[in-house]
């Protein structure tokens, strides 16, 4: 028995490892295209289904896609209507694994014994010769494809002797005649190994050895779809109720599909053609049945998606969409998104922009206290400064974790830039607090500015806020136009600072204002000038990115 079990386990390990290498290479080769998924995702159900199928086909795991969706919903990047569409698509996308593995039957030139060694050899050559990261990603796809096939071949060879085993034959006959048992086995194996693709690989290897009757395969396939929901449910533990709904929707959708098609299958096998169910199934037939089951379930249940959402919300005690009232809570970041680094980088960018807007609001509020000396506003500014500091720490930690992942060169540069940007935004928050402290001192000491000084401060404040607004907009839209505007306004702020400083020194020398007022005025000018410098640093991220892209295209044209 050990001569069967050990090679089978080794083959399964190679199958899973090859699948992971291939998925990783596909994911990184896709690059920024993965980040555009959220941008094109709309309320259109068909678009969501198509995207769910595409992403799952790329990362070779419906469980991973659903876990990603849990993270998106928890981070507020996706609503439940969008989520259920992606889940439906993920079920369709996961069938691609079966078609890849069964290619040896319907396309003889793709048989594992022929293709696998060639794929590994080609992948290794590309790895050794290729210099760019993109070449290495392509090599990873090819090598993973080859290892996956070698693992599949090893599993099939290991179980081949079981063709003569009466025990195995009896076990599969039992699963075919007892739908509940077949579904239970499929769900249990998939839940244990946490991968529907790997579970499919096991079933396909047994089928290639001529061990699986059609009726048993049908019920095991349905069970696999239920078992794959366990990963998403476990992933949603500790997440928001909204995110928990994703796991519930996934389970509800797959159970409903299993019930519908189990009834149809039992009717077919018991009434229409009993001999068909008892016949031995091959890998291509399994892939076909799996595809029909998942596509059929999607077509049947798509009109009822709204009811599935309502049921999931009721099960999780959610009466309305949850919102996070605490500004310090992270909105766009979730550890689950790190399974897709490029999307996690996009989430970090969105969270950084959100922090930047909070810092801007605080700066505007602080500047207003110079004229109205409102103590409640001053307290709000100081309280929000704690929020900004907390956001800075949490975003920075997230970005540092991202640095440990396999990122594309572009994403790696963005993470580095965001770390600097978060620091710049935190410093803007510090300057807002400095301004409030100056306003408090002026109130305590009875200091006030002249109308001329207030007009000058208002003009410089408006220009400074304009520079900062354009910088954040440039980062958000990746638009160099706003970055150039920031540079123009920052130059204006620098010129104003010199001019107003000189003018105020002249007023001091003419005894037109007090020394204390003059000191506070100069300090305020310094804070505003520093804010514009930080705005320029933020805009520089976009300027550098566009400059790098221009140089890359120029080098490419030269080559």
pLDDT of residue 375: 86
SS3 213: strand
Q: Quickly list DSSP for 153-187.
A: HHHHHHHGGGGG-HHHHHHHHHHHH-HHHHHHHHH
pLDDT beyond 90 at 325: no
Q: What is the pTM of this model?
A: 0.64
pLDDT band, very low/low/confident/very high, at 357 (cuts 50, 70, 90) = very high
Residue ranges of alpha helices (H) inside 31-102 are 36-40, 45-59, 62-74, 80-93, 96-101
Catalogue the E-assigned strands of 479-527: none
Q: pLDDT confidence of 495, banded at 50, 70, 90?
A: very high
Residue 268 — pLDDT band, cuts 50, 70, 90? confident
d(CA 544, CA 546): 6
The β-bridge partners of 280 are: 213
Question: Is CATH 1.20.58.220 correct for 335-558?
Answer: yes
How far is it, in rounded angstroms, from Cα 231 to Cα 234? 5
553, exposed or middle or buried, with CB in 10 Å at 0-12, 13-18, 19+? Answer: exposed
Q: Say if residue 299's pLDDT is above 90.
A: yes
Domain boundaries, the chain: 2-315, 335-558
In eight-state DSSP terms, residue 281 is P
pLDDT at 462 > cutoff 70: yes
pLDDT for 444 beyond 50: yes
Would you state the pLDDT for residue 435?
Answer: 93
366-417 tens-digit pLDDT: 999 888 888 888 999 998 899 999 999 999 999 999 888 877 778 888 899 9
Tens digit of each residue's pLDDT (9 = 90 or more) over 64-80: 677 777 777 776 667 78
- List beta partners, residue 213: 280
> How does pLDDT run across 198-214, given as a tens digit for each residue?
778 788 888 887 888 88
Q: How far is CA 93 from the centre of its chain?
A: 17
> Largest Cα–Cα distance of the chain, in whole Å?
109
Tell me the C-alpha distance between 452 and 458, whole Å. 10
User: Rounded to whole angstroms, how far apart are CA atoms 291 and 279?
Assistant: 20
> Residue 319 pLDDT > 50, yes or no?
yes
**pLDDT class for 21, splitting at 50, 70, 90?**
confident
Token couple for 335:
């550890």
The per-residue pLDDT for range 220-229, each reduced to its tens digit, is 999 888 888 8
Percentages of the chain per state (helix, strand, coil), in multiples of 5: 85, 0, 15
pLDDT classification of 555: cutoffs 50, 70, 90: very low
Q: At what angle do helices 214-227 and 179-193 cross, to 10 degrees?
A: 40
Confirm if 451 and 407 have CB atoms less than 8 A apart. no
Going through 317-377 in order, the beta strands assigned E by DSSP cover none
């Amino acid at each position: 028995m050990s001569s069967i079990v050990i090679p089978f386990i080794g083959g399964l390990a190679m199958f899973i490892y090859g699948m992971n290498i291939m998925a990783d290479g596909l994911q990184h080769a896709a690059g920024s295209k993965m980040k555009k998924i959220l941008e094109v995702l709309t309320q259109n159900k068909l678009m969501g289904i198509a995207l769910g199928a595409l992403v799952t086909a790329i990362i070779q795991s419906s469980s991973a896609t659903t876990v990603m969706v849990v993270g998106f919903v928890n981070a507020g990047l996706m609503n439940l209507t969008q989520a259920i569409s992606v889940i439906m698509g993920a079920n369709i996308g996961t069938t691609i694994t079966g078609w890849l593995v069964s290619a040896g039957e319907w396309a003889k030139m793709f048989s594992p014994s022929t293709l696998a060694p060639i794929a590994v050899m080609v992948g290794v050559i590309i790895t050794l010769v290729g210099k760019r990261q993109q070449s290495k990603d392509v090599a990873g796809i090819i090598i993973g494809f080859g290892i996956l096939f070698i693992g599949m071949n090893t599993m099939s060879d290991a179980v081949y002797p079981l063709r003569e085993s009466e025990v195995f034959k009896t076990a599969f006959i039992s699963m075919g005649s007892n739908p509940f048992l077949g579904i239970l086995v499929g769900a249990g194996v998939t839940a244990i190994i946490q991968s529907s693709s790997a579970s499919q690989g096991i079933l396909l290897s047994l089928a290639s050895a001529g061990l699986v009757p059609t009726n048993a395969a049908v019920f095991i396939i349905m069970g696999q779809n239920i078992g794959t929901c366990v990963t998403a449910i476990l992933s949603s533990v500790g997440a928001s109720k909204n995110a928990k709904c994703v796991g519930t929707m996934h389970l509800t959708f797959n159970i409903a599909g299993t019930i519908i098609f189990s009834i149809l299958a039992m009717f077919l096998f018991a009434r229409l053609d009993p001999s068909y169910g008892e016949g031995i199934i091959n890998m291509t037939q399994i892939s076909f049945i799996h595809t029909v089951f998942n596509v059929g379930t999607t077509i049947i249940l798509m009109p009822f998606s709204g009811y599935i959402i309502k049921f999931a919300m009721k099960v999780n005690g959610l009466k309305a969409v949850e919102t996070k009232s605490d500004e310090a809570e992270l909105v766009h970041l979730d550890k689950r998104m790190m399974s897709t680094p490029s999307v996690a980088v996009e989430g970090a960018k969105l969270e950084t922009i959100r922090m930047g807007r909070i810092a801007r609001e605080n700066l505007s509020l602080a500047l207003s206290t110079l004229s109205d000396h409102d103590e409640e506003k001053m307290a709000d500014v100081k309280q929000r400064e704690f929020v900004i500091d907390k956001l800075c720490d949490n975003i920075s930690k997230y970005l540092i974790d991202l640095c440990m992942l396999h990122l594309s060169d572009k994403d790696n540069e963005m993470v580095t830039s965001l770390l600097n940007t978060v620091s710049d935004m935190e410093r803007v928050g510090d300057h807002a607090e400095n301004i409030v402290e100056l306003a408090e001192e002026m109130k305590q000491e009875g200091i006030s500015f002249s109308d001329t000084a207030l007009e000058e401060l208002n003009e410089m404040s408006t220009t400074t806020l304009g520079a900062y607004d354009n910088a954040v907009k440039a980062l958000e839209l990746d638009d160099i136009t706003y970055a150039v505007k920031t540079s123009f306004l920052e130059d204006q702020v620098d010129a104003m600072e010199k001019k107003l400083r000189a003018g105020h020194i002249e007023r001091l020398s003419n005894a037109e204002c007090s020394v204390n007022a003059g000191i506070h005025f100069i300090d305020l000018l310094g804070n505003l000038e520093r804010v514009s410098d930080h705005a320029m640093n933020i805009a520089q991220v976009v300027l550098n990115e566009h400059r790098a892209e221009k140089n890359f295209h120029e080098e490419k044209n030269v080559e």
